[in-house]
Amino acid sequence: MEFLPVNRNEMEERGWDQVDFVMVTGDAYVDHPSFSTAIITRILEKYGYKIGIIAQPDWKDVGSFKIFGMPRLGFLVNSGNIDSMVNHYTSFKKRRSKDIYSPGGEGGFRPDRAVTVYGNKIREAYKDVPIIIGGLESSLRRLGHYDYWDNKVRRSILIDSSADIIVYGMGEKTIVDIAEALDGGIPVDEITYITGTVYKTRDKSRAYDSIDLPDFEEISKDKKRYAESFKIQYENTDSINAKVLVEKYGSIYVVQNTPTPPLSQMELDDVYDMEYTREYHPIYEKDGGIPALTEVKFSIISSRGCFGGCSFCALTFHQGRVIQARSHESIIKEGKTFVEDSDFKGYIHDVGGPTANFRVKACDKQLKYGVCKDKQCLFPEKCENLNVDHSDYLDLLKKLRKIDGVKKVFIRSGIRYDYLLYEKDDEFIEELCKHHVSGQLKLAPEHVSPKVLRALGKPSFNIYKKFIDKYEKINKKMEMNQFVVPYFISSHPGSTMKEAVELAEYIRDMGHMPEQVQDYYPTPGTLSTCMFYTGIDPRTMEEIYIPNSFEEKKMQRALMQYRKKENYMLVLKALKQAGREDLIGFDKKCLIRPPKKR
């Protein structure tokens, strides 16, 4: 298996004088199924199209986008595996110096708002070429959206990037449909009928059986209208029951077609069974390779979709709530390829997806009616129709453990502990403790406060404590010394200083301070970001408290690591502000000692 061409010489070595599509991406070129660029380009190759890849072009030089000449059918553009602004900036808007998706892990290889910059540069190079944008950055910015970095509502990325079509969600089916339409001679502005796409038009009648969202002008000026618009979008993310959505920009309409149906097991297998080199392109060897590959090279994606419903997660907007799972045969086949790799040390690092132990659809009703628009599967309590079944996942893990050359199979992509607690017996958790934990099990209760947990879309903290009790008892029975590492989040909507102190008190009672803490980060496409911008919970349209100043965010973060000397003054200020001077003193329940008198 060889890499797809990354320059004109490699194209000509294949005997091509022109490519059908040029893929422009903000990541370095890694031909591995954990990278969206690899999947999309290999699928198009499978259907007979010739693809050239321009990875991390010099965005200041229009010539960088012309190295293959004008493609026969069009340009495909993504920012890479993650949003370029999240890649570049911390939650405090400080510039990051490193980028694991770039050569040697160094930063500076892609621009801010990469899809927009690339799209406009391509339009400068070739005025009339079709431009199709996709990936996470495009998918989550497909309609008017609040942008944390500009602190304002920005237009659909379709308009700002000068592109013709957005592919949103997981685009394997969609990109093939677009390619076949272009190959069949259909003008790009007439490709308005494909699911999983967003297009722009001056003729609103093209949007059949649609819902009108508030105009862009309204949502950019009125936060309540923004929250109303987001709620409509959030309720229309399922391929069975979603409607076409229309957002007006003056005389232009941006139209979001209904989502593409989830892939069947056979279709999902086909995606991951394609031949990939599973390496980064050799041009990066001199720079030390691409660090992001190390993270996933010996991990297996077993499923897609998540019905967890966490407010801060964009999965509902991007992958959807319907679980799609690969077959055991496909996964075992991939596992066996690891053994043949000279770098493999016998450890499969992960087998999972957005949530590792979601491998069956949430309920049978989804197959006919789609996901519920006004109800979650696990929040605030378990739905009576929820399928709780770990048997398939357990069987899969047992098979992977039996592969010759495999020493250990870990689960690192996240266990949903509440779902696991609802299982009828302890077989899975016992297997988990015995075979699949590397000394520490990472879980994400996120907070302890009922008010904040409601905003987060997470279950009662009592459920987490019940799981911890069971986990500790099973480890004790097996004479294993394994721990839980909980992830908590600071400054999420709904968290006043009172709730932040409540979380700090729980951390105190745990007996150890977390080494890493997570600040809430308002990214496009999430309920939490809508709350952050509007001060309104779109599910209820009620007001919610927002800790949005950097000073308050620093205090809430510092409370989670109150023992650090450098956090002392912030913790002192936070406790005084919360009226909790009782936690300043020498008692064992106190977080900090009083300041020294001068």
pLDDT at residue 468, as a whole number: 96
234 belongs to a structural domain = no
Question: How would you class 568 by CB atoms within 10 Å of its CB: exposed for 0-12, middle for 13-18, buried for 19 or more?
Answer: middle
| pLDDT average, residue stretch 357-372 | 94
Task: For residue 523, give the CATH number of its domain.
Answer: 3.30.750.200
Q: What is the dihedral of CA 183, 185, 189, 190, to 10 degrees?
A: -110
- 456 to 179, 229, 265, 449, 489: CA distances (angstroms): 39, 20, 31, 10, 10
Whole-prediction pTM:
0.96
| 431 & 445 share domain | no
| 465 & 376 share domain | no
Please tell me the total count of domains within the chain. 3
Contact 562, 570 (CB under 8 A): no
Given a cut of 80, whether residue 488 has pLDDT beyond it is: yes
196, 229, 255 - which closes a domain: 196
165, 181, 196 - which closes a domain: 196
pLDDT at residue 439, as a whole number: 87
pLDDT tier, 407 (very low <50, low <70, confident <90, very high otherwise): very high
| 412 & 549 share domain | no
- 216 to 116, 144, 254: CA distances (angstroms): 19, 6, 10
| 433 & 408 share domain | yes
| 421 & 447 share domain | no
Structural domain boundaries enclosing 87: 8-196
- Per-residue pLDDT tens over the stretch 549-596: 999 999 999 999 999 999 999 999 999 999 999 999 999 999 999 998
pLDDT at residue 111, as a whole number: 98
208 belongs to a structural domain = no
Q: Which of 16-30, 44-58, 484-498, 512-526 has the lowest mean pLDDT?
A: 512-526
Question: How would you class 52 by CB atoms within 10 Å of its CB: exposed for 0-12, middle for 13-18, buried for 19 or more?
Answer: buried
Q: Spell out a b/e string for 56-90, using b for 16 or more CB atoms within 10 Å of the CB, else e.
A: bbebeeeebbbbbeebebbbbbbbbbbbbbbbbbe
| 505 & 564 share domain | yes
| 466 & 489 share domain | yes
- Per-residue pLDDT tens over the stretch 103-151: 999 999 999 999 999 999 999 999 999 999 999 999 999 999 999 999 9
Q: Phi/psi at 340 (nearest 5 deg)?
A: -80, -10
68 belongs to a structural domain = yes
Given a cut of 90, whether residue 242 has pLDDT beyond it is: yes
pLDDT tier, 414 (very low <50, low <70, confident <90, very high otherwise): confident
- Supply the DSSP symbol for 388: -
417, 438, 459 - which closes a domain: 438
C-alpha to C-alpha distance for 181 and 195, rounded to whole angstroms: 13
pLDDT tier, 217 (very low <50, low <70, confident <90, very high otherwise): very high
220 belongs to a structural domain = no
Contact 296, 34 (CB under 8 A): yes
C-alpha to C-alpha distance for 411 and 314, rounded to whole angstroms: 22
- Helix (H) and strand (E) counts in the chain: 23, 24
48 belongs to a structural domain = yes
C-alpha to C-alpha distance for 467 and 470, rounded to whole angstroms: 5
pLDDT at residue 163, as a whole number: 98
pLDDT tier, 35 (very low <50, low <70, confident <90, very high otherwise): very high
pLDDT at residue 413, as a whole number: 84
Structural tokens at position 514? 């977390």
pLDDT at residue 515, as a whole number: 79
Structural tokens at position 163? 């592109």
Given a cut of 80, whether residue 420 has pLDDT beyond it is: yes
When computed from its CA atoms, the radius of gyration of the chain, rounded to whole angstroms, is 25
